[in-house]
Amino acid sequence: MTREEMTELLDDNGYEISDEQRLPDGTGWQFRLASGQIISLFDGGSWNVEGRNPDPIERLLSEYQTGNR
């Protein structure tokens, strides 16, 4: 998944990105959502979700990745 795909997917599903920045080690991007989740998107396309109530975001990203959307 690319940065552009991530921002489009989140926007299309009603999630507001409150902050977006490069990870300090330069290996990807971090997205902080207004709903409390923190997504790390790595340059290789993998991702990790942390923060408040990560399950809906993990489900959304997994479905996108497997083509079930």
* pLDDT of res. 33: 99
Sheet with 47-51, side-by-side order of all strands: 17-22, 28-33, 37-42, 47-51
Domain 3-66 homologous superfamily, CATH:
TATA-Binding Protein (3.30.310.10)
What is the total residue count of the chain? 69
Token pair 């490069």 is found at 22
| In the chain, domain spans | 3-66
Q: What does residue 54 show for φ and ψ, rounded to 5 degrees?
A: -75, -20
* pLDDT of res. 69: 57
Mean pLDDT, each 10-residue run in order, the chain (69 residues): 96 98 98 98 96 97 85
pTM for this model (two decimals): 0.91
* pLDDT of res. 65: 87
* pLDDT of res. 67: 85
- Give the C-alpha separation, 44 to 55, whole Å: 22
Pick left, alpha or beta for residue 30 (phi over 0 → left; psi -120 to 50 → alpha; otherwise beta). Answer: beta
